Structure 1
Amino acid sequence: MATLNKSTCIATAFLMLAPPAHPASPERGSLEHIVNGAVQPVLEAHEVPGMVVGLTIDGERYFFEYGVASKESGRRATKDTFFEIGSISKAFTATLAAYAQESGSLSLTDKASRYLPALEGSNLDRVSLLQLGTYSAGGLPLQFPDHVTDQEELVKFYRSWRPEYEPGTHRLYSNPSIGLFGFLAARSLGKSFDEVMESLLLPKLGLEDTFIDVPDHRIGDYAFGYTKSGNPIRVSPGMFDSEAYGIKTTAADMLQFLEANMGQQELEDDLSQALATTRTGYFKVGDMVQGLGWEIYQWPIELDRLLDGNSAELAFKPHKVTKLDPPKPLPGQILVNKTGSTNGFGAYVAFLPGSRIGLVMLANKNYPIPERVRIAYEIMTALED
């Protein structure tokens, strides 16, 4: 693979038509210096074929494009390239469920078994939709067992599940938890998850380049991911893959999603309230406040604490929670973030609503999460100086 350096890293800026809220905008040259200084050493150290970094600052968008979307074709990575975003998809799943609540189709306090009769009489009679959406059902595992490959085995898995903790007392990050959450939310709306996401939610958000299944006529814009050994790869099908890690999108659309979350997009009232629901704090684990899909921190925060909140320790082990009663938005300045990975892609998004700053990093290699957090932290703290 060619080394990524100044001659192969392309950076371009694209500005929104709306005028900035403040008279002075950041200078392109200074932004490029900040972003390149944070990103290029990581790309080189981990041999990342391509990355796109998007920034929204006071409603003004900037894109920095590095390397290639496909090593085989040499096609460049751009703001319009589709990347797999892995678990950042959970923020979209959470938005769908919150929107279903606003439309009157469900309540997050409903029990999970209400929307799937096959689960009645199981331990999911005691688990709320909110607990599924915040990984606090009582110990659902990170992944499904290998034998769960169809609807029959799926139902057997949930019916035989025995919680290790009282629902609502412990957090254990789990695709079966939020996957079921999204599945049941879609059922409450009378459609499959893929259908309701692509025909309802994504259009309402104005995201024209965000898909679960990239259409055939756009497949040329879909990046290849790369394994540690450099082989091309894309995500494989799995149970509740759409709900937990299935979104493919562009840096441009992801910035629009962040702007919607920061109140910078014109949306219908129900959808604006749904986005606010996803950014509500439900409980704490250390410095991290669990939202619905999102993870939230008071800002400013020390880098080590932000790394702790995005660590393998928090992702793979159960943690007792401190409930926020009632659930509420965090006061003052906050940072909202989420990581996402598939076997060939690595992504990170973060935004500071109070400063109207948002950052998107999409790459076609699953490079270490601490590196993603450090890059974002370096950029965002520099922008606030």
Structure 2
Amino acid sequence: MTTLRRCTTSVLLSLPLAASAAPDPAAIRAIVDATVRPLMAEHDLPGVAVAVTVDGQSAIFNYGLASRADNKPIDNRTLFEIGSVSKTFAATLASYAQVQGKLALDDRPGKYWPALKGSAIDKATLLHLGTYTAGGLPLQFPDELTEPLPARYYRAWKPAGAPGTIREYSNPSLGLFGHMTARALKRDYGSAVESILFPAFGMQHSYVNVPAAARPDYAWGYLDGKAVHFTDEPFSAITYGIRTTAADLLRFVQANMTPQGLDPTMRRAVEGTHVGYFKVGDMVQGLGWEQYAYPTKLQTLLDGNSESMIWEPHPATRLQTPALPAGPTLFNKTGSTGGFGAYVLFVPEQKVGIVLLANRNYPIPARVKAAYAILERLTAQK
């Protein structure tokens, strides 16, 4: 895995390129600059970090400020809230537990949380929870909910459909999935991610619980002109709680693109998150990652990451034989908190991956368009 040095608005590459394998560093920088600088101006983004991998080489670009109050610039150690991109780590941890025989995706949540036995939620499986197909759990917990372990909420939940028939993007769904994983591992969720996943991917500056020594690197997000960090709600560590750098998140992307270099157990865990289970329009929902046949039209990505897909239920069709993608595939995931916006996209067959992190929650379509523009220009020059 590439070792990245600290720099600002610069590109760092490793491993020699074949003669025509990828654009040179100046060309990559020009591509990213041409996309990101107008994006920042249009959406008043205080700071942005972009990480790109092309044919096994990595490039990190930093723009703007981590803190407007003291003019602190974004650099390679700047920590961003990555919002729901955190869900891909919850999925990887669950897949790891499955590989180890600690859980099965066909298990019911009541197996690990007896308080849920006999309730409607216990008719769903862990797979349904991990793919948002339990039957209509909402996007967010109610604002008035204060229980850190909301068993009463789940027991009282009334489904809108049978498990596996509708896909409704949901923090309560994925949060319960991650919580069941931690119970199956008999571990605290945060410590499991920090001690199992981060070391496996070489992520040395990533946290569920940010220690005091790393707090100076933690960027401020901006909401309505105010500097903010997210506040906790039930299962927030699972659904949107990871703080990481662009460089570390790119390492995770690289591992997903070429899992062959991982420990055999972790390789199987990563590959497990690439299995598709449900078809929802043009998108295939796996554990954490959302998949599209590649080449992928921009409008297809915009539709798959639309407000409708985030807030509304959609019919889901279970794939008869869940499997790894049969052809070239684009994987992506968005993430937002009150003050941050993230987007990750990668195409293993093209050997290209892109991480966009910003300390403002700007519109998702703008993120998708920016990453798509970078992808198109990088692949066109290969």
TM-score when normalising by structure 1: 0.94
Partner of 1:337: 332
Query: Cα deviation per residue 1:174-215 (whole Å; 9 max; x = unaligned)?
Result: 000000000010110111111211122222222111101111
Aligned structure 1 segments of 4 or more residues deviating by more than 6 angstroms: none
SS at match of 1:26: coil
- Aligned positions of 1:138-149 closer than 5 A: 138-149=135-146
1:231 aligns with 2:229: no
CA drift of 1:97 comes to: 0.3
Aligned pair partner of 2:346 in 351, 362, 377: 351
CA drift of 1:25 comes to: 4.0
Residue identity opposite 1:187 in structure 2: R
1:13 aligns with 2:11: yes
Partner of 2:201: 205
- Cα gap change, 1:27/1:264 in structure 2, threshold over 3 Å: closer, same or farther? farther
Name the count of aligned residue pairs: 374
Partner of 2:173: 177
- Cα gap change, 1:81/1:166 in structure 2, threshold over 3 Å: closer, same or farther? same
Partner of 1:269: 264
Kindly indicate whether the alpha-carbon contact (under 8 Å) linking 1:53 and 1:362 is maintained by their aligned counterparts in 2. Answer: yes
CA drift of 1:322 comes to: 1.9
Partner of 1:43: 40
Partner of 1:186: 182
CA drift of 1:80 comes to: 1.9
CA drift of 1:219 comes to: 0.8
Residue identity opposite 1:239 in structure 2: P
Residue identity opposite 2:353 in structure 1: G
- Cα gap change, 1:24/1:200 in structure 2, threshold over 3 Å: closer, same or farther? closer
Aligned partners of 2:69, 2:260: CA distance in 1, in Å? 38
SS at match of 1:108: coil
SS at match of 2:9: strand
SS at match of 2:77: coil
Partner of 2:215: 219
Aligned partners of 2:312, 2:20: CA distance in 1, in Å? 47
Residue identity opposite 2:298 in structure 1: L
CA drift of 1:265 comes to: 6.6
- Cα gap change, 1:22/1:99 in structure 2, threshold over 3 Å: closer, same or farther? farther
Kindly indicate whether the alpha-carbon contact (under 8 Å) linking 1:259 and 1:265 is maintained by their aligned counterparts in 2. Answer: no
SS at match of 2:355: strand
CA drift of 1:89 comes to: 0.1
CA drift of 1:264 comes to: 5.5
Give the share of equivalent positions with the same residue, in percent.
Answer: 48
Aligned partners of 1:187, 1:21: CA distance in 2, in Å? 47
1:112 aligns with 2:109: yes
Residue identity opposite 1:359 in structure 2: I
SS at match of 2:360: coil
Query: Cα deviation per residue 1:150-192 (whole Å; 9 max; x = unaligned)?
Result: 246x111111111110001100000000000000101101111
SS at match of 2:66: coil
Partner of 2:275: 280
Aligned partners of 1:310, 1:296: CA distance in 2, in Å? 11
Aligned partners of 1:22, 1:262: CA distance in 2, in Å? 22
CA drift of 1:22 comes to: 6.5
Residue identity opposite 2:10 in structure 1: T
Kindly indicate whether the alpha-carbon contact (under 8 Å) linking 1:22 and 1:58 is maintained by their aligned counterparts in 2. Answer: no
TM-score when normalising by structure 2: 0.95
SS at match of 1:90: helix
Query: Cα deviation per residue 1:95-152 (whole Å; 9 max; x = unaligned)?
Result: 0000000011000111111110111111122110010000000011111112321246
Partner of 2:362: 367
Kindly indicate whether the alpha-carbon contact (under 8 Å) linking 1:133 and 1:293 is maintained by their aligned counterparts in 2. Answer: yes
Aligned partners of 1:264, 1:124: CA distance in 2, in Å? 34
Residue identity opposite 1:374 in structure 2: K
Aligned partners of 2:77, 2:148: CA distance in 1, in Å? 35
Aligned partners of 2:177, 2:254: CA distance in 1, in Å? 25
Aligned partners of 1:265, 1:255: CA distance in 2, in Å? 16
Partner of 1:85: 82
Deviates more, 1:200-209 or 1:245-254: 200-209
Deviates more, 1:135-144 or 1:321-330: 321-330
- Which consecutive unaligned segments of at least 5 residues does structure 2 have? 1-6
SS at match of 1:12: coil
SS at match of 2:72: coil
Residue identity opposite 1:150 in structure 2: E
Residue identity opposite 1:40 in structure 2: R
Kindly indicate whether the alpha-carbon contact (under 8 Å) linking 2:21 and 2:55 is maintained by their aligned counterparts in 1. Answer: no
Kindly indicate whether the alpha-carbon contact (under 8 Å) linking 1:59 and 1:264 is maintained by their aligned counterparts in 2. Answer: no
**Aligned-pair Cα RMSD in Å:** 1.5
CA drift of 1:23 comes to: 6.1
Query: Cα deviation per residue 1:319-362 (whole Å; 9 max; x = unaligned)?
Result: 01122111112222111000000000000000010011110000
Residue identity opposite 1:282 in structure 2: Y
Kindly indicate whether the alpha-carbon contact (under 8 Å) linking 2:22 and 2:378 is maintained by their aligned counterparts in 1. Answer: no
Partner of 2:252: 257
- Cα gap change, 1:22/1:188 in structure 2, threshold over 3 Å: closer, same or farther? farther
- Aligned positions of 1:44-83 closer than 5 A: 44-83=41-80
